[in-house]
A and B are shown apart, each in its own frame.
Chain A
Amino acid sequence: MASRIVAFNLNGRDVEVMVKPLTTLQTVLREHLHLTATKSGCRQGGCGTCTVLVNGEPMLSCLLPVEDIAGQQVVTLEGITPVEGLHPIQQAFFDNYAIQCGYCSPGMIMIIKALLDRNPNPTRQEVMDAIAGNVCRCTGYESILRAAEDAARRLQSA
């Protein structure tokens, strides 16, 4: 089938991409737009590292045909990272040793961003529920849970 142009808003800017039908948002981000913070993990919706926000909701970009988000607002890890320094969630990950190999980190940070945006003071149970679809093989989750709680405190006192 023929390619077509899909327009959406990415990290506050309007973008247009020329794609074949069923091209995923992950492929568009990484291979068309060269925004590689969004990782490519299992590519079947099983690991969560490709999580991005669509209209503020966390979504798995590996399962999302880009046509489905035409005209909508997409935010990736690049979109929340300041020009200088780090976002409070990134800083909390750094300070709490929540990053080892780093492969899960972009997805973890985005899913925690989505959680804290709608629930600024979550319980540990609520953090666990939020990140349950995101796999981390290094940390045992303990430091990530600590980082999420620390990030909530930082964002509330900011």
Chain B
Amino acid sequence: MAKLRGTGIAAVNYPTGMNLGGDPSQALIHATTTGTFVISLSSTDLGQGLKTVIAQIGAETLGVPFENVLIDTADTDTGPHCMGTFASRATHRVGNAVIMAAKEARKVMLEVAAEELEASPDDLDTDGQGNIYVKGSPERKIDITSVALAAHFKYGRSISGRGMYIKPKSPVDPETGKMDPDSTEAHACVVAEVEVDTETGEVTVLSLKSAYEVGCQVNPALVREQIIGGAFMGMSHALYETTAPYYPSPDHAPGSFSEYVIPGPHELPHIESVVLEYPSVNGPYGVKGVGEMTANAPIPAIINAISNAIGVRLTEYPVTPEKILRALERSPKLKQPAQTGA
């Protein structure tokens, strides 16, 4: 009986979005009478923070405070078209659509403000604090609410904008197989340290240390939480999750969620990460996708660490205690000193 330690490494290049048949997203923005900018989308926030980052992108482009932006993802029956939240595409695709819509809405907003300030729209700018002012004379300004009220009740205008982003379908060259499959790629590397109990076959993940290159971060705190949550989910895939665990008979297979094995807080390893920012050329404000990839590289990193610990190559996951114990029977590391003559 022993506890064997090992280290493993794995890297991932993760494509943002897909391009099998064109990949569009659309966004509509309109201001309410009191100057709240409603961004209508059919994209879904699954909890990763899409509403927050899209509101940040919209506010930045419109030139209004974050608090003035409302994200409406209420209904895919009535909202503008979106392919959905998958393939780490939403911030990239929807963000680009929102920038386009926000530019159009900003143009109308400045035109209405210009009428009120008796200035040229080209001479106006936003201060990001809820005001529009004349460049060079900041005391000549008007607040966003007054602009919205004037647009609605004085000029009969709608402060609104339309945006769409499409990654066109890229055909495969029949000669070379060459194509342009994605919009941008994020990169990561994960190093896992594990301890394997040779008596029980149980694996403890001691740490997951990673470096992520994800383009510009719209919201670094949300990126960090994606990395931590993804690392844990990767560990869960590597060691625990299967609907068909190895048992002598299928009768012993889990029949409900209560019997489906997933790790809990006690299995949380030490997680450490650094984020590098190399802006993408086509993402909104240099964004790349950082969702799914966080659960990818931890899996081979952990399994490589186990292989390193026990001296046997493992090629199937989840690496359950049963698989470890069977592999240990083939392990050169477990031979007794007397048997090996060492």
Task: Say yes or no: B258 contacts A42, CB within 8 Å.
Answer: yes
Binds B, one of A7-15, A76-84, A130-138: A130-138
Q: A128-B266, A132-B265, A132-B266 are in contact. Are A143 and B258 (CB under 8 A)?
A: no
- Band of interface residues on A: 20 to 34
* Count of chain B residues with a beta carbon within 8 Å of a chain A beta carbon: 23
Q: Tell me which residues across on chain A come within 8 A of B221, comparing CB atoms.
A: 97
Task: Say yes or no: A46 contacts B264, CB within 8 Å.
Answer: no
Interface assignment of A140: CB less than 8 Å from any CB of chain B? yes
Task: Say yes or no: B264 contacts A140, CB within 8 Å.
Answer: no
Binary flags per residue of B209-247, CB closer than 8 Å to A gives 1, else 0: 000000000000110110011111100000000000000
Task: Say yes or no: A100 contacts B229, CB within 8 Å.
Answer: yes
Task: Say yes or no: A141 contacts B268, CB within 8 Å.
Answer: yes
Q: Tell me which residues across on chain B come within 8 A of A140, comparing CB atoms.
A: 228-233, 268, 271
Interface assignment of A72: CB less than 8 Å from any CB of chain B? no
Which of A101, A128, A142 is in CB contact (< 8 Å) with B228? A142
Closest chain B residue, CB of each to CB of A131: B265
Q: Tell me which residues across on chain A come within 8 A of B225, comparing CB atoms.
A: 97, 100, 139, 143
**Contact count A vs B, C-beta below 8 Å:** 67
Closest chain B residue, CB of each to CB of A144: B265
Interface assignment of A102: CB less than 8 Å from any CB of chain B? yes
Task: Say yes or no: A132 contacts B47, CB within 8 Å.
Answer: no
Task: Say yes or no: A42 contacts B257, CB within 8 Å.
Answer: yes
Q: Tell me which residues across on chain A come within 8 A of B48, comparing CB atoms.
A: 100, 138
Q: A128-B266, A140-B268, A142-B268 are in contact. Are A100 and B47 (CB under 8 A)?
A: yes
The distance from the CB of A97 to the nearest CB of chain B, in whole angstroms, is: 5
Task: Say yes or no: A42 contacts B256, CB within 8 Å.
Answer: yes
Interface assignment of A145: CB less than 8 Å from any CB of chain B? yes
The distance from the CB of B115 to the nearest CB of chain A, in whole angstroms, is: 40
Q: Tell me which residues across on chain B come within 8 A of A142, comparing CB atoms.
A: 228, 232, 268, 271
Docked pose: A138 CA to B226 CA in angstroms: 8
Q: Tell me which residues across on chain B come within 8 A of A131, comparing CB atoms.
A: 264-265
Binary flags per residue of B22-57, CB closer than 8 Å to A gives 1, else 0: 000000000000000000000000111100000000
Docked pose: A44 CA to B258 CA in angstroms: 7
The distance from the CB of B72 to the nearest CB of chain A, in whole angstroms, is: 18
The distance from the CB of A41 to the nearest CB of chain B, in whole angstroms, is: 8
Binary flags per residue of A9-50, CB closer than 8 Å to B gives 1, else 0: 000000000000000000000000000000000101111000
B interface residues (Cβ-Cβ under 8 A, vs A):
46-49, 221-222, 224-225, 228-233, 256-258, 262, 264-266, 268, 271
12 inter-chain pairs at a CB distance below 8 angstroms, sorted by A residue, are A42-B256, A44-B258, A99-B47, A132-B264, A137-B262, A138-B229, A140-B271, A141-B232, A142-B228, A142-B271, A145-B265, A145-B268
A interface residues (Cβ-Cβ under 8 A, vs B):
42, 44-47, 97, 99-102, 127-128, 131-132, 135, 137-145
